[in-house]
Protein backbone atom coordinates (compact mmCIF):
# COMPACT_ATOMS: atom_id res chain seq x y z
CA UNK A 1 0.00 0.00 0.00
CA UNK A 2 2.82 2.37 0.91
CA UNK A 3 4.25 1.83 -2.54
CA UNK A 4 1.03 3.17 -4.12
CA UNK A 5 0.85 6.20 -1.83
CA UNK A 6 4.47 7.11 -2.57
CA UNK A 7 4.00 6.57 -6.32
CA UNK A 8 1.20 9.13 -6.42
CA UNK A 9 2.73 11.79 -4.22
CA UNK A 10 2.28 15.39 -5.40
CA UNK A 11 6.00 15.50 -6.27
CA UNK A 12 5.66 12.46 -8.51
CA UNK A 13 2.52 13.85 -10.15
CA UNK A 14 4.06 17.28 -10.66
CA UNK A 15 6.96 15.61 -12.46
CA UNK A 16 4.43 13.92 -14.84
CA UNK A 17 2.11 16.78 -15.63
CA UNK A 18 2.51 19.88 -17.75
CA UNK A 19 1.06 23.32 -17.14
CA UNK A 20 -2.23 22.53 -18.89
CA UNK A 21 -4.90 19.98 -17.97
CA UNK A 22 -7.28 19.35 -20.89
CA UNK A 23 -10.92 18.75 -19.93
CA UNK A 24 -12.48 15.87 -21.88
CA UNK A 25 -16.27 15.79 -22.31
CA UNK A 26 -18.65 13.60 -24.27
CA UNK A 27 -21.99 11.85 -24.01
CA UNK A 28 -20.53 8.34 -24.34
CA UNK A 29 -17.29 6.74 -23.06
CA UNK A 30 -16.28 5.93 -26.65
CA UNK A 31 -16.63 9.59 -27.66
CA UNK A 32 -14.60 10.70 -24.63
CA UNK A 33 -11.84 8.17 -25.32
CA UNK A 34 -11.61 9.28 -28.97
CA UNK A 35 -11.25 12.90 -27.83
CA UNK A 36 -8.70 11.84 -25.18
CA UNK A 37 -6.64 9.99 -27.82
CA UNK A 38 -6.47 13.15 -29.93
CA UNK A 39 -5.78 15.52 -27.02
CA UNK A 40 -3.10 13.27 -25.49
CA UNK A 41 -0.91 13.52 -28.60
CA UNK A 42 -0.20 17.14 -27.77
CA UNK A 43 -1.07 17.28 -24.07
CA UNK A 44 -1.11 14.01 -22.05
CA UNK A 45 -2.54 15.59 -18.84
CA UNK A 46 -6.33 15.05 -19.03
CA UNK A 47 -9.42 15.58 -16.89
CA UNK A 48 -12.28 13.18 -17.65
CA UNK A 49 -15.63 14.82 -16.83
CA UNK A 50 -17.51 11.69 -15.82
CA UNK A 51 -20.54 13.82 -14.88
CA UNK A 52 -21.20 14.36 -18.61
CA UNK A 53 -21.98 10.63 -18.97
CA UNK A 54 -25.41 9.16 -18.33
CA UNK A 55 -23.99 6.12 -16.46
CA UNK A 56 -20.44 6.91 -15.31
CA UNK A 57 -19.95 3.63 -13.38
CA UNK A 58 -20.58 1.51 -16.47
CA UNK A 59 -17.98 3.51 -18.41
CA UNK A 60 -15.08 2.88 -16.01
CA UNK A 61 -13.90 -0.46 -17.52
CA UNK A 62 -13.34 1.31 -20.87
CA UNK A 63 -11.34 4.09 -19.18
CA UNK A 64 -9.32 1.45 -17.30
CA UNK A 65 -8.36 -0.17 -20.60
CA UNK A 66 -7.47 3.20 -22.15
CA UNK A 67 -5.31 4.25 -19.18
CA UNK A 68 -3.64 0.83 -19.12
CA UNK A 69 -2.62 1.23 -22.74
CA UNK A 70 -1.60 4.90 -22.50
CA UNK A 71 0.99 5.03 -19.73
CA UNK A 72 2.03 8.59 -20.69
CA UNK A 73 -1.44 9.95 -19.79
CA UNK A 74 -2.00 11.43 -16.34
CA UNK A 75 -5.74 11.40 -15.66
CA UNK A 76 -8.07 13.25 -13.30
CA UNK A 77 -11.55 11.87 -12.61
CA UNK A 78 -14.25 14.49 -11.94
CA UNK A 79 -17.92 13.76 -11.30
CA UNK A 80 -19.29 17.16 -10.30
CA UNK A 81 -22.83 17.28 -9.01
CA UNK A 82 -25.43 19.73 -10.35
CA UNK A 83 -25.42 21.57 -6.99
CA UNK A 84 -21.75 22.39 -7.56
CA UNK A 85 -22.11 23.47 -11.18
CA UNK A 86 -21.66 20.03 -12.77
CA UNK A 87 -24.02 17.67 -14.57
CA UNK A 88 -24.22 14.66 -12.21
CA UNK A 89 -27.74 14.27 -10.83
CA UNK A 90 -26.96 11.55 -8.26
CA UNK A 91 -26.40 11.83 -4.51
CA UNK A 92 -23.09 12.43 -2.71
CA UNK A 93 -22.83 8.69 -1.93
CA UNK A 94 -23.13 7.92 -5.67
CA UNK A 95 -20.47 10.49 -6.53
CA UNK A 96 -18.08 8.96 -3.97
CA UNK A 97 -18.67 5.43 -5.27
CA UNK A 98 -17.88 6.57 -8.83
CA UNK A 99 -14.69 8.36 -7.73
CA UNK A 100 -13.52 5.42 -5.57
CA UNK A 101 -13.97 3.04 -8.49
CA UNK A 102 -12.28 5.57 -10.82
CA UNK A 103 -9.27 5.56 -8.48
CA UNK A 104 -9.19 1.74 -8.71
CA UNK A 105 -9.45 1.96 -12.52
CA UNK A 106 -6.13 3.74 -12.96
CA UNK A 107 -7.07 7.43 -12.57
CA UNK A 108 -4.15 9.26 -10.93
CA UNK A 109 -6.24 11.98 -9.25
CA UNK A 110 -9.84 12.39 -8.20
CA UNK A 111 -11.48 15.81 -7.83
CA UNK A 112 -14.15 16.34 -5.20
CA UNK A 113 -15.92 19.53 -4.23
CA UNK A 114 -15.31 21.16 -0.84
CA UNK A 115 -19.07 20.98 -0.20
CA UNK A 116 -18.88 17.19 -0.65
CA UNK A 117 -15.85 16.89 1.64
CA UNK A 118 -17.66 18.92 4.31
CA UNK A 119 -20.81 16.78 4.05
CA UNK A 120 -19.17 13.37 4.52
CA UNK A 121 -17.39 11.57 7.34
CA UNK A 122 -13.58 11.65 7.47
CA UNK A 123 -13.31 7.90 6.86
CA UNK A 124 -15.06 8.34 3.46
CA UNK A 125 -12.15 10.49 2.26
CA UNK A 126 -9.71 7.94 3.63
CA UNK A 127 -11.47 5.22 1.60
CA UNK A 128 -10.88 7.35 -1.50
CA UNK A 129 -7.22 7.83 -0.61
CA UNK A 130 -6.77 4.11 0.07
CA UNK A 131 -7.40 3.45 -3.63
CA UNK A 132 -4.07 5.15 -4.42
CA UNK A 133 -5.25 8.27 -6.29
CA UNK A 134 -4.21 11.75 -5.22
CA UNK A 135 -6.99 13.96 -3.94
CA UNK A 136 -7.93 17.36 -5.41
CA UNK A 137 -10.42 19.28 -3.27
CA UNK A 138 -11.98 22.05 -5.32
CA UNK A 139 -14.24 25.02 -4.76
CA UNK A 140 -16.18 26.88 -7.46
CA UNK A 141 -17.82 30.29 -7.13
CA UNK A 142 -19.91 31.05 -10.23
CA UNK A 143 -20.85 34.53 -9.02
CA UNK A 144 -17.76 36.40 -7.76
CA UNK A 145 -14.16 36.41 -6.52
CA UNK A 146 -14.19 36.76 -2.75
CA UNK A 147 -12.60 35.43 0.45
CA UNK A 148 -10.03 33.27 -1.33
CA UNK A 149 -7.97 32.95 1.86
CA UNK A 150 -11.04 31.86 3.83
CA UNK A 151 -11.86 29.13 1.29
CA UNK A 152 -8.22 28.00 1.34
CA UNK A 153 -8.35 27.66 5.14
CA UNK A 154 -11.56 25.59 4.87
CA UNK A 155 -9.85 23.13 2.51
CA UNK A 156 -6.45 22.86 4.22
CA UNK A 157 -7.49 20.65 7.19
CA UNK A 158 -8.39 17.85 4.74
CA UNK A 159 -4.74 17.82 3.59
CA UNK A 160 -5.50 17.04 -0.08
CA UNK A 161 -2.58 16.62 -2.45
CA UNK A 162 -3.94 19.55 -4.51
CA UNK A 163 -6.20 22.49 -3.63
CA UNK A 164 -8.20 24.03 -6.49
CA UNK A 165 -10.04 27.34 -6.08
CA UNK A 166 -12.05 28.67 -9.01
CA UNK A 167 -13.87 32.01 -8.81
CA UNK A 168 -15.59 34.27 -11.34
CA UNK A 169 -13.97 37.53 -12.46
CA UNK A 170 -16.52 40.34 -12.52
CA UNK A 171 -13.78 42.82 -13.43
CA UNK A 172 -10.08 42.80 -14.34
CA UNK A 173 -9.04 43.52 -10.74
CA UNK A 174 -10.47 40.13 -9.66
CA UNK A 175 -7.57 38.52 -11.55
CA UNK A 176 -5.18 40.61 -9.48
CA UNK A 177 -6.91 39.34 -6.31
CA UNK A 178 -6.52 35.73 -7.51
CA UNK A 179 -2.86 36.17 -8.45
CA UNK A 180 -1.98 37.89 -5.16
CA UNK A 181 -3.69 35.01 -3.34
CA UNK A 182 -1.66 32.45 -5.33
CA UNK A 183 1.56 34.32 -4.49
CA UNK A 184 0.66 34.33 -0.76
CA UNK A 185 -0.40 30.68 -0.52
CA UNK A 186 1.78 28.93 -3.13
CA UNK A 187 4.32 27.71 -0.56
CA UNK A 188 1.65 26.25 1.75
CA UNK A 189 0.03 23.83 -0.72
CA UNK A 190 -0.06 22.57 -4.31
CA UNK A 191 -2.49 25.18 -5.57
CA UNK A 192 -4.59 25.63 -8.68
CA UNK A 193 -6.27 29.05 -8.96
CA UNK A 194 -8.39 30.33 -11.87
CA UNK A 195 -10.98 33.05 -12.52
CA UNK A 196 -13.82 32.10 -14.88
CA UNK A 197 -15.63 34.44 -17.28
CA UNK A 198 -14.55 36.69 -20.16
CA UNK A 199 -12.66 38.88 -17.72
CA UNK A 200 -10.81 35.91 -16.19
CA UNK A 201 -8.57 35.12 -19.17
CA UNK A 202 -5.66 36.90 -17.45
CA UNK A 203 -5.68 34.38 -14.59
CA UNK A 204 -5.88 31.46 -17.03
CA UNK A 205 -2.68 32.58 -18.76
CA UNK A 206 -0.72 34.33 -15.98
CA UNK A 207 -1.92 32.25 -12.99
CA UNK A 208 0.90 29.74 -13.58
CA UNK A 209 3.46 32.49 -13.08
CA UNK A 210 1.79 33.54 -9.82
CA UNK A 211 1.88 30.03 -8.37
CA UNK A 212 -0.91 27.91 -9.89
CA UNK A 213 0.50 24.39 -10.47
CA UNK A 214 -1.52 24.06 -13.67
CA UNK A 215 -4.51 25.54 -15.49
CA UNK A 216 -7.44 23.98 -17.37
CA UNK A 217 -8.18 24.09 -21.09
CA UNK A 218 -10.91 22.91 -23.44
CA UNK A 219 -10.03 20.07 -25.84
CA UNK A 220 -11.32 22.18 -28.76
CA UNK A 221 -13.18 25.51 -29.12
CA UNK A 222 -16.84 24.94 -28.23
CA UNK A 223 -16.10 22.23 -25.64
CA UNK A 224 -15.47 24.54 -22.68
CA UNK A 225 -16.32 23.11 -19.23
CA UNK A 226 -16.23 26.55 -17.60
CA UNK A 227 -17.04 30.10 -18.76
CA UNK A 228 -14.00 31.70 -20.41
CA UNK A 229 -12.03 28.45 -20.76
CA UNK A 230 -9.45 28.57 -23.56
CA UNK A 231 -8.75 25.75 -26.04
CA UNK A 232 -5.55 23.82 -25.29
CA UNK A 233 -3.93 24.55 -28.64
CA UNK A 234 -4.61 28.29 -28.22
CA UNK A 235 -2.98 28.25 -24.77
CA UNK A 236 0.11 26.52 -26.15
CA UNK A 237 0.44 28.16 -29.57
CA UNK A 238 -1.04 31.65 -29.24
CA UNK A 239 -0.23 32.36 -25.58
CA UNK A 240 2.90 30.16 -25.39
CA UNK A 241 1.96 29.26 -21.82
CA UNK A 242 4.93 26.90 -21.46
CA UNK A 243 7.34 29.81 -21.94
CA UNK A 244 5.71 32.38 -19.64
CA UNK A 245 8.02 33.30 -16.76
CA UNK A 246 8.68 36.22 -14.41
CA UNK A 247 10.38 38.23 -17.13
CA UNK A 248 7.54 37.83 -19.67
CA UNK A 249 6.11 41.27 -20.47
CA UNK A 250 2.34 41.59 -20.52
CA UNK A 251 0.39 43.60 -23.14
CA UNK A 252 -3.29 43.66 -23.96
CA UNK A 253 -6.24 45.06 -25.84
CA UNK A 254 -8.54 46.96 -23.48
CA UNK A 255 -12.18 47.87 -24.05
CA UNK A 256 -15.58 46.34 -24.68
CA UNK A 257 -16.31 44.15 -26.55
CA UNK A 258 -12.89 42.52 -26.97
CA UNK A 259 -13.99 38.91 -26.52
CA UNK A 260 -13.84 38.26 -30.28
CA UNK A 261 -10.82 40.47 -30.92
CA UNK A 262 -8.12 38.96 -33.10
CA UNK A 263 -5.50 41.31 -31.63
CA UNK A 264 -4.21 38.58 -29.25
CA UNK A 265 -3.71 36.16 -32.15
CA UNK A 266 -2.09 38.83 -34.35
CA UNK A 267 0.24 40.37 -31.76
CA UNK A 268 1.19 37.06 -30.09
CA UNK A 269 2.08 35.72 -33.56
CA UNK A 270 4.35 38.75 -34.04
CA UNK A 271 5.94 38.23 -30.59
CA UNK A 272 6.66 34.59 -31.43
CA UNK A 273 7.99 35.40 -34.89
CA UNK A 274 10.35 38.07 -33.55
CA UNK A 275 11.26 36.05 -30.40
CA UNK A 276 9.96 38.68 -27.96
CA UNK A 277 9.34 37.33 -24.42
CA UNK A 278 5.88 38.83 -24.13
CA UNK A 279 2.22 37.86 -24.09
CA UNK A 280 -0.83 39.79 -25.30
CA UNK A 281 -4.27 39.34 -23.67
CA UNK A 282 -7.86 40.51 -24.16
CA UNK A 283 -8.74 42.85 -21.26
CA UNK A 284 -12.53 43.21 -21.26
CA UNK A 285 -13.60 46.31 -19.33
CA UNK A 286 -15.50 49.57 -19.59
CA UNK A 287 -14.08 51.01 -16.35
CA UNK A 288 -10.89 53.03 -16.43
CA UNK A 289 -10.07 52.48 -12.74
CA UNK A 290 -10.34 48.72 -13.20
CA UNK A 291 -7.91 48.87 -16.13
CA UNK A 292 -5.47 51.11 -14.26
CA UNK A 293 -5.45 48.73 -11.26
CA UNK A 294 -4.53 45.85 -13.55
CA UNK A 295 -1.87 47.91 -15.35
CA UNK A 296 -0.25 48.86 -12.08
CA UNK A 297 -0.43 45.50 -10.33
CA UNK A 298 0.50 43.01 -13.08
CA UNK A 299 2.22 45.28 -14.39
CA UNK A 300 1.04 45.72 -18.00
CA UNK A 301 3.72 47.14 -20.33
CA UNK A 302 1.51 48.34 -23.15
CA UNK A 303 -2.08 48.59 -24.34
CA UNK A 304 -4.08 48.64 -27.52
CA UNK A 305 -7.03 50.79 -26.46
CA UNK A 306 -10.41 50.35 -28.11
CA UNK A 307 -14.03 51.43 -27.51
CA UNK A 308 -15.13 52.93 -25.18
CA UNK A 309 -11.80 53.98 -23.58
CA UNK A 310 -9.91 55.81 -26.34
CA UNK A 311 -10.86 59.25 -25.05
CA UNK A 312 -11.02 58.52 -21.30
CA UNK A 313 -7.45 57.17 -21.19
CA UNK A 314 -5.92 60.52 -22.13
CA UNK A 315 -6.11 62.10 -18.68
CA UNK A 316 -4.14 59.18 -17.20
CA UNK A 317 -1.17 59.59 -19.55
CA UNK A 318 2.02 61.48 -18.82
CA UNK A 319 2.28 62.62 -22.43
CA UNK A 320 0.85 61.81 -25.87
CA UNK A 321 1.96 62.26 -29.45
CA UNK A 322 0.60 65.42 -31.17
CA UNK A 323 -2.06 63.58 -33.19
CA UNK A 324 -3.61 61.92 -30.08
CA UNK A 325 -3.67 65.33 -28.41
CA UNK A 326 -5.23 66.98 -31.42
CA UNK A 327 -8.00 64.41 -31.96
CA UNK A 328 -8.58 63.71 -28.27
CA UNK A 329 -8.30 59.93 -28.67
CA UNK A 330 -5.47 57.48 -28.14
CA UNK A 331 -5.33 53.81 -29.14
CA UNK A 332 -1.81 52.85 -28.05
CA UNK A 333 -0.23 53.11 -24.59
CA UNK A 334 3.29 52.21 -23.58
CA UNK A 335 4.71 52.04 -20.04
CA UNK A 336 8.12 53.68 -19.71
CA UNK A 337 10.82 52.34 -17.37
CA UNK A 338 9.76 54.88 -14.74
CA UNK A 339 6.25 53.36 -14.75
CA UNK A 340 4.65 56.39 -16.42
CA UNK A 341 2.23 55.90 -19.32
CA UNK A 342 2.66 57.48 -22.75
CA UNK A 343 0.06 57.58 -25.55
CA UNK A 344 0.11 57.31 -29.34
CA UNK A 345 -2.47 57.06 -32.09
CA UNK A 346 -1.84 54.48 -34.81
CA UNK A 347 -5.47 54.59 -36.04
CA UNK A 348 -5.04 57.81 -38.04
CA UNK A 349 -2.28 56.52 -40.31
CA UNK A 350 -4.07 53.17 -40.62
CA UNK A 351 -7.19 54.97 -41.96
CA UNK A 352 -5.41 57.42 -44.21
CA UNK A 353 -2.79 55.13 -45.82
CA UNK A 354 -5.15 52.55 -47.43
CA UNK A 355 -7.28 55.41 -48.83
CA UNK A 356 -4.31 57.40 -50.16
CA UNK A 357 -3.20 54.32 -52.10
CA UNK A 358 -6.52 54.38 -53.96
CA UNK A 359 -7.72 58.00 -54.21
CA UNK A 360 -6.56 61.58 -54.06
CA UNK A 361 -7.78 62.72 -50.61
CA UNK A 362 -7.33 66.46 -51.13
CA UNK A 363 -10.78 67.81 -52.00
CA UNK A 364 -12.42 64.35 -51.75
CA UNK A 365 -15.99 64.31 -50.42
CA UNK A 366 -16.08 61.77 -47.57
CA UNK A 367 -18.92 60.59 -45.33
CA UNK A 368 -17.87 59.21 -41.93
CA UNK A 369 -20.45 57.13 -40.04
CA UNK A 370 -20.02 57.46 -36.26
CA UNK A 371 -18.54 59.93 -33.80
CA UNK A 372 -16.59 57.75 -31.30
CA UNK A 373 -12.83 57.26 -30.91
CA UNK A 374 -12.38 55.49 -34.27
CA UNK A 375 -14.46 58.13 -36.07
CA UNK A 376 -12.40 60.91 -34.46
CA UNK A 377 -9.22 59.38 -35.85
CA UNK A 378 -10.77 59.12 -39.33
CA UNK A 379 -12.28 62.63 -39.35
CA UNK A 380 -9.17 64.45 -38.08
CA UNK A 381 -6.83 62.36 -40.27
CA UNK A 382 -8.88 62.99 -43.42
CA UNK A 383 -9.33 66.71 -42.67
CA UNK A 384 -5.56 66.99 -42.29
CA UNK A 385 -5.21 65.60 -45.83
CA UNK A 386 -7.54 68.30 -47.18
CA UNK A 387 -10.70 66.19 -47.59
CA UNK A 388 -14.22 67.61 -47.25
CA UNK A 389 -15.62 65.49 -44.38
CA UNK A 390 -19.28 64.94 -43.44
CA UNK A 391 -20.35 63.16 -40.24
CA UNK A 392 -23.49 61.08 -39.83
CA UNK A 393 -24.07 59.83 -36.30
CA UNK A 394 -27.04 58.21 -34.57
CA UNK A 395 -26.80 60.71 -31.70
CA UNK A 396 -26.86 64.06 -33.52
CA UNK A 397 -25.27 66.07 -30.66
CA UNK A 398 -22.13 63.87 -30.63
CA UNK A 399 -21.83 64.23 -34.39
CA UNK A 400 -22.21 68.01 -34.16
CA UNK A 401 -19.60 68.23 -31.40
CA UNK A 402 -17.04 66.27 -33.44
CA UNK A 403 -17.83 68.33 -36.56
CA UNK A 404 -17.18 71.56 -34.62
CA UNK A 405 -13.90 70.28 -33.19
CA UNK A 406 -12.58 68.99 -36.52
CA UNK A 407 -14.07 71.78 -38.68
CA UNK A 408 -16.11 69.16 -40.55
CA UNK A 409 -19.84 69.17 -41.40
CA UNK A 410 -22.74 67.05 -40.22
CA UNK A 411 -25.04 65.22 -42.57
CA UNK A 412 -28.70 64.19 -42.36
CA UNK A 413 -29.67 60.62 -43.17
CA UNK A 414 -32.65 61.60 -45.32
CA UNK A 415 -30.25 63.23 -47.81
CA UNK A 416 -28.16 60.06 -48.27
CA UNK A 417 -30.00 58.33 -51.11
CA UNK A 418 -29.61 61.38 -53.37
CA UNK A 419 -26.01 62.33 -52.49
CA UNK A 420 -22.83 61.07 -54.14
CA UNK A 421 -19.59 60.74 -52.11
CA UNK A 422 -16.05 59.80 -53.06
CA UNK A 423 -15.76 57.63 -49.94
CA UNK A 424 -18.22 56.28 -47.36
CA UNK A 425 -16.40 55.14 -44.22
CA UNK A 426 -18.01 53.17 -41.36
CA UNK A 427 -16.37 53.96 -38.00
CA UNK A 428 -19.09 52.38 -35.84
CA UNK A 429 -19.15 48.79 -34.48
CA UNK A 430 -22.30 48.04 -36.52
CA UNK A 431 -21.70 44.87 -38.52
CA UNK A 432 -19.11 43.55 -36.05
CA UNK A 433 -19.28 39.91 -34.98
CA UNK A 434 -21.54 39.74 -31.93
CA UNK A 435 -22.91 43.31 -32.29
CA UNK A 436 -26.57 44.04 -33.09
CA UNK A 437 -27.92 45.50 -35.37
CA UNK A 438 -25.74 44.44 -38.29
CA UNK A 439 -27.01 46.94 -40.91
CA UNK A 440 -26.02 50.59 -40.84
CA UNK A 441 -27.20 51.74 -44.30
CA UNK A 442 -29.67 50.60 -46.92
CA UNK A 443 -28.34 49.64 -50.35
CA UNK A 444 -29.91 52.72 -52.02
CA UNK A 445 -28.00 54.98 -49.56
CA UNK A 446 -24.59 53.70 -50.66
CA UNK A 447 -23.53 56.04 -53.44
CA UNK A 448 -19.74 56.33 -53.49
CA UNK A 449 -16.61 55.63 -55.50
CA UNK A 450 -15.20 53.63 -52.57
CA UNK A 451 -16.57 52.08 -49.35
CA UNK A 452 -14.32 51.51 -46.31
CA UNK A 453 -15.55 49.53 -43.29
CA UNK A 454 -13.32 49.78 -40.21
CA UNK A 455 -14.99 46.65 -38.78
CA UNK A 456 -12.61 43.75 -39.50
CA UNK A 457 -14.53 40.82 -37.98
CA UNK A 458 -16.20 39.43 -40.02
CA UNK A 459 -13.91 40.05 -43.00
CA UNK A 460 -16.95 40.53 -45.24
CA UNK A 461 -19.39 42.85 -43.42
CA UNK A 462 -22.99 43.53 -44.51
CA UNK A 463 -21.91 47.04 -45.63
CA UNK A 464 -19.09 45.69 -47.82
CA UNK A 465 -21.39 43.06 -49.33
CA UNK A 466 -23.93 45.72 -50.30
CA UNK A 467 -21.16 47.86 -51.83
CA UNK A 468 -19.82 44.91 -53.86
CA UNK A 469 -23.32 44.14 -55.12
CA UNK A 470 -23.35 47.69 -56.53
CA UNK A 471 -19.85 47.14 -58.02
CA UNK A 472 -18.30 49.70 -55.67
CA UNK A 473 -14.64 48.96 -54.75
CA UNK A 474 -14.08 48.37 -51.01
CA UNK A 475 -11.39 48.64 -48.35
CA UNK A 476 -11.73 45.98 -45.66
CA UNK A 477 -11.20 46.62 -41.98
CA UNK A 478 -8.52 43.90 -41.99
CA UNK A 479 -6.14 46.14 -43.93
CA UNK A 480 -6.53 48.89 -41.34
CA UNK A 481 -6.47 46.45 -38.39
CA UNK A 482 -3.15 44.89 -39.38
CA UNK A 483 -1.67 48.26 -40.31
CA UNK A 484 -2.37 49.83 -36.91
CA UNK A 485 -1.37 46.61 -35.07
CA UNK A 486 1.99 46.57 -36.85
CA UNK A 487 2.68 50.16 -35.77
CA UNK A 488 1.72 49.27 -32.17
CA UNK A 489 4.11 46.30 -32.19
CA UNK A 490 6.91 48.60 -33.33
CA UNK A 491 6.15 51.19 -30.63
CA UNK A 492 6.18 48.49 -27.91
CA UNK A 493 9.20 46.47 -29.02
CA UNK A 494 11.35 48.76 -31.15
CA UNK A 495 11.49 45.96 -33.75
CA UNK A 496 10.06 45.98 -37.30
CA UNK A 497 6.67 44.23 -37.37
CA UNK A 498 6.29 40.97 -39.36
CA UNK A 499 3.33 42.52 -41.17
CA UNK A 500 2.81 39.77 -43.77
CA UNK A 501 2.68 37.09 -41.09
CA UNK A 502 0.26 39.20 -39.03
CA UNK A 503 -2.03 39.65 -42.05
CA UNK A 504 -1.84 35.93 -42.89
CA UNK A 505 -2.97 34.69 -39.44
CA UNK A 506 -5.78 37.27 -39.19
CA UNK A 507 -7.20 36.44 -42.64
CA UNK A 508 -6.89 32.70 -41.94
CA UNK A 509 -8.74 33.03 -38.59
CA UNK A 510 -11.51 35.16 -40.11
CA UNK A 511 -12.01 32.68 -42.96
CA UNK A 512 -12.21 29.81 -40.46
CA UNK A 513 -14.78 31.73 -38.42
CA UNK A 514 -16.86 32.48 -41.52
CA UNK A 515 -16.71 28.81 -42.54
CA UNK A 516 -17.77 27.66 -39.06
CA UNK A 517 -20.65 30.17 -39.04
CA UNK A 518 -21.91 29.03 -42.45
CA UNK A 519 -21.71 25.36 -41.33
CA UNK A 520 -23.75 26.25 -38.24
CA UNK A 521 -26.34 28.01 -40.39
CA UNK A 522 -26.57 24.99 -42.67
CA UNK A 523 -27.20 22.71 -39.68
CA UNK A 524 -30.04 24.91 -38.40
324 and 404 fall within a common domain: no
pLDDT 10s digits, 189-208: 999 999 999 999 999 999 99
pLDDT at 287 over 90: yes
337 domain-assigned: yes
Exactly one of 108, 140, 236, 301 is catalytic; name it. 140
Residues near 53 by Cβ (< 8 Å), separated by ≥ 6? 26, 27, 28, 29, 32, 59
6 domain-assigned: yes
50 and 182 fall within a common domain: yes
pLDDT for the residue 507: 95
Q: Is 204 annotated to bind ligand? A: yes
pLDDT for the residue 413: 94
- The last residue of one of the domains, among 195, 219, 244, is 244
Give residue 211's domain range. Answer: 2-244
Q: Is 225 annotated to bind ligand? A: yes
256 and 215 fall within a common domain: no
515 domain-assigned: no
Give yes or no: 164 in active site. yes
Q: What percent of the chain has pLDDT over 90?
A: 86
pLDDT for the residue 504: 97
Q: Is 337 annotated to bind ligand? A: no
178 domain-assigned: yes
Closest CA to 177 of 188, 193, 155, 198: 193
395 and 295 fall within a common domain: no
274 and 365 fall within a common domain: no
Q: Of 247-256, 433-442, 455-464, which gets the smallest average pLDDT?
A: 433-442
Answering whether pTM is above 0.85, one says: yes
Q: Is 372 annotated to bind ligand? A: yes
238 and 275 fall within a common domain: no
341 and 355 fall within a common domain: no
Closest CA to 135 of 150, 144, 122, 148: 122
363 domain-assigned: yes
Q: Is 484 annotated to bind ligand? A: yes
Q: Is 477 annotated to bind ligand? A: yes
Mean pLDDT of 334-346: 94
The CATH number that applies at residue 17 is 3.20.20.70
Mean pLDDT of 240-265: 94
pLDDT at 7 over 80: no
Average pLDDT, the chain: 94
198 and 138 fall within a common domain: yes
Exactly one of 236, 301, 310, 433 is catalytic; name it. 310
356 and 315 fall within a common domain: no
Exactly one of 19, 164, 236, 301 is catalytic; name it. 164
Q: How far apart are CA 32 and CA 59, in angstroms?
A: 10
The CATH number that applies at residue 336 is 3.40.50.10860
Give yes or no: 470 in active site. no
pLDDT for the residue 6: 39
Q: How many CA atoms lie within 13 A of 21 on its CB side?
A: 29
Report angle CA 25, 512, 375 to the nearest 5 degrees: 115
pLDDT 10s digits, 463-496: 999 999 999 999 999 999 999 999 999 999 999 9
pLDDT for the residue 307: 85
Q: Is 199 annotated to bind ligand? A: no
Q: Is 306 annotated to bind ligand? A: yes
153 and 283 fall within a common domain: no
133 and 10 fall within a common domain: yes
Give yes or no: 140 in active site. yes
Q: How far apart are CA 467 and CA 445, in angstroms?
A: 10
107 domain-assigned: yes
pLDDT 10s digits, 148-202: 999 999 999 999 999 999 999 999 999 999 999 999 999 999 999 999 999 999 9
pLDDT at 1 over 50: no
Closest CA to 426 of 445, 443, 404, 441: 441
495 domain-assigned: no
pLDDT 10s digits, 505-521: 999 999 998 888 777 66
Total count of domains within the chain: 3
Mean pLDDT of 383-408: 96
- The last residue of one of the domains, among 345, 373, 404, is 345
Binning pLDDT at 50, 70 and 90, where does residue 433 land? confident
- The last residue of one of the domains, among 319, 345, 371, is 345
Q: Is 360 annotated to bind ligand? A: no
192 domain-assigned: yes
pLDDT for the residue 522: 65
Binning pLDDT at 50, 70 and 90, where does residue 346 land? very high
60 and 209 fall within a common domain: yes
Amino acid sequence: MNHVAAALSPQYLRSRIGKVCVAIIGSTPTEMIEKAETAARENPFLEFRLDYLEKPLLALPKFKTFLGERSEVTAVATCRRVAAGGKFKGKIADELEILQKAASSGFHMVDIELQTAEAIKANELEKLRARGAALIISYHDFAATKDLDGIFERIRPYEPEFIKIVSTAKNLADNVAMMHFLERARDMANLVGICMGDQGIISRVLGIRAGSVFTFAAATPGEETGPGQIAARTLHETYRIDQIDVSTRVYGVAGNPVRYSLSPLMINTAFRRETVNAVFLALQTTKMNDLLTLMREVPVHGLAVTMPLKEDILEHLEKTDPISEKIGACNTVVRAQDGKLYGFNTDVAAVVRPLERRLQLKGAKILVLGAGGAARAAVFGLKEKGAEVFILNRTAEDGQKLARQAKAKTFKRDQLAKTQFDIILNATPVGMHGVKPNHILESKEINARLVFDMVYNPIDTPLLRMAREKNIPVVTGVEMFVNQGARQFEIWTGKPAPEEEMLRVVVHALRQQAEAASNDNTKH
